[in-house]
Structure 1
Amino acid sequence: MKIGITGATGQLGTLALEQLKSRTDAANLVALVRSPEKIKEVDAKAFDYDKPEGLAESLKGIDSLLLISGNEIGQRARQHENVIKAAKEAGVKWLIYTSILKADSSTISLAAEHLATEKLLKASGIPFTILRNGWYTENYTGSISGALSAGTFIGSAEDGKISSAVRADFAEAIAVVLTTDGHEGKIYELAGDEAYTLSELAAEISKQSNKDIPYQNLPEEEYSKALKGMGLPEGIADAIASWDVSASKGDLHSEDNTLSKLIGRPTKSLSYAVKEALDK
């Protein structure tokens, strides 16, 4: 059985490919990427969501396809439709898509494109599995160095609980689903076992760094302005601030432990993720 992995050089895709290599023969894997020359240990084919004319040819012979959502916000529903149509044409037998936690009810701006893709997938007639990934802990721990420099961790999530997990946990779940039976037709809500607030994250950073790093909650506009002052583009800054507001409404919180059930162990803790970030 041939497994195709889109976005195999991205942050999640790289980890998913490594997990798959540990669970199946490398000869069964095909990396579908924009730059095939970057892939050395498995077969690689050129694959660009924005070039529909070549997608079906690259998917020939693929039995199971992992469609990792694109990173171009505002373009993804169209891009994903290109891939789904090509998969249908190429005779792909099973498509696994990485969506977002609670895609059908979340207020997060990212949810609309994910939900649109889910609907396209369901209408395609291709057997599918939808992995509704929760927040990556790295989305927050990536800000630790800046917080240490500034002496405070800022955000707009108030006391909203965040059930995130590290990317490696989601990547392992992807590999489990692709290499075991019983997942077709399922929609999995995937989130970390441990929920925390940004105040609790700041406290963990303070504990491990031996510095006093309090959490400062800002109104959405002020947080966006601060992010722009750090050099983030306007659209990205506005989006990040809005995601925190959604977190304050509970959109990043889940008590569903399907992720830990799939990987057969508890998800990595917040303290683990903070230590990883501080050790870099």
Structure 2
Amino acid sequence: MTIAVTGATGQLGRLVIAALKQRVAIDDIVALARSPDKAGKLGVSVRPFDYATPDGLADALSGIGTLLLISSSEVGERSAQHRNVIAAAKQAGVGRIVYTSLLHADTSSLDLAVEHRDTEAALAASGIPVTLLRNGWYTENYTGAIPGALAVGALIGSAGQGRISSASRADYAEAAAIAASVPDHVGKTYELAGDHGWTLADLAAEVTRQTGREIAYDDLPPNDYAHRLQDAGLPAEVAQAIAGYDVAASKGALFDDGRQLSRLIGRPTTPLADAVRASLA
């Protein structure tokens, strides 16, 4: 069974390819990449693949048994791009699609959920057997802010006391590799999140513990947070979106205590302390 991975040169895609190489024969893995020249070090077969260019997608999926559709990084374009891929998969006779969706996509208040719901509906309508991996937040989304917090002595956000059940990219990549390589997961939907929820205040406290420097969590009104992000160089639209994610987190949108991810990968998810340590290293 040949497994193809879209977005194979991305941060998640590269980790998925590495995880798959531990589970299946290298000849059974195909990396799909918009820029194949960036995939040379993956060590597997590479085919050109651009979500936004329907022509040629079906040819790229020829002979593929399972397609891991890693959601596009182009927010606002995802629905159309994913529909291109699904149509091509049907034309090529792909046997199953594994899709990286969003935690509680069917009920989530996050703006991001709309395109994931649309994609899930398109998958259901396609008639192709599907496995849905509804991924929670990456811990790296937050540990990336640690250098800035150390520079100013505070971690800022608008998440209040909302608990975030994040996991590392490597955790989600391992789950994707397992779901794609084991037929038992056909037709299943997994709500994937970290074992232990934490708040931004907890993150600040962990940075304080590991560095010996007092880092506070400064909870800001969303508009103030967005303006601070803009001052740091982010585009206004991106800054507003990030502040909105924090507001959703304050209302529980990023929390899940079902531990489906750790059960799927057969080990505990990466603890926050380990993620902070890796970031500081």
- Tell me the residue number matched to 1:27: 27
Once the two structures are superposed, the pairs formed by residues 102-181 of structure 1 within 5 Å of their partners are 102-181=104-183
CA distance in 2, matches of 1:195, 1:63: 36
1:208 matched to which residue of 2?
Answer: 210
**Map of 1:220 onto structure 2:** 222
Cα-to-partner distance string for 1:5-61 (whole Å, 9 max, x where unaligned): 000100100000000011111100000001112223111000000100110010011
> Match of 1:187?
189
Q: Helix, strand or coil: the match of 1:149? A: helix
Structure 2 counterpart SS, 1:119: helix
Distance 1:79 1:178 in 2: 21
Q: Provide the rounded CA distance (Å) in 2 between the counterparts of 1:43 and 1:229.
A: 43
Shift of 1:150: 1.1
Cα separation, 2, equivalents of 1:80 and 1:93: 17
Counterpart in 1 of 2:253? 251
1:62: which partner in 2?
64
Structure 2 counterpart of 1:269: 271
Deviation digits for residues 56-75 of structure 1, max 9, x if unmatched?
01001111000000011100
With the length of structure 1 as denominator, give the TM-score of the two structures: 0.99
- How far apart are the structure 1 equivalents of 2:33 and 2:180? 19
Alignment partners' CA distance in 1, 2:206 and 2:269: 17
Task: Provide the residue aligned with 2:5 in structure 1.
Answer: 5
Secondary structure of 1:70's match? coil
> 1:278 and 2:280 equivalent?
yes
Which runs of no fewer than 5 residues in structure 1 stay unpaired? Answer: none
In the TM superposition, what whole-angstrom CA distance separates every residue of 1:145-194 from its partner, at most 9, and x where no partner exists? 00000110000000000000000000000111112231111110000001
Asked if structure 1 preserves the Cα contact closer than 8 Å seen for 2:3 and 2:181, the reply is no
Mapped to 1, the partners of 2:256 and 2:78 lie a distance apart of 25
- Note if contact 2:39-2:46 (Cα within 8 Å) is conserved in structure 1: yes
Any idea what SS the aligned residue of 2:165 has?
coil
C-alpha deviation, 1:209, in angstroms: 1.0
Letter in 2 for 1:7: G
What secondary structure does 1:215 align onto? Answer: strand
Q: Secondary structure at the match of 1:140?
A: helix
Give the TM-score taking structure 2 as reference length. Answer: 0.98
* CA displacement at 1:270 relative to structure 2: 0.3
Which residue, out of 238, 241, 247, partners 1:239?
A: 241
Would you say how many aligned residue pairs link Structure 1 and Structure 2? 279
1:71 aligns with 2:73: yes
Question: 1: distance between equivalents of 2:101 and 2:169?
Answer: 14
Q: What is the Cα deviation at residue 198 of structure 1?
A: 0.5
Using the alignment, how far apart are the partners of 2:249 and 2:186 within structure 1?
30
Alignment RMSD (CA, Å): 0.6
Residue identity in the other structure for 2:257: E
Give the match for residue 16 of structure 1. Answer: 16
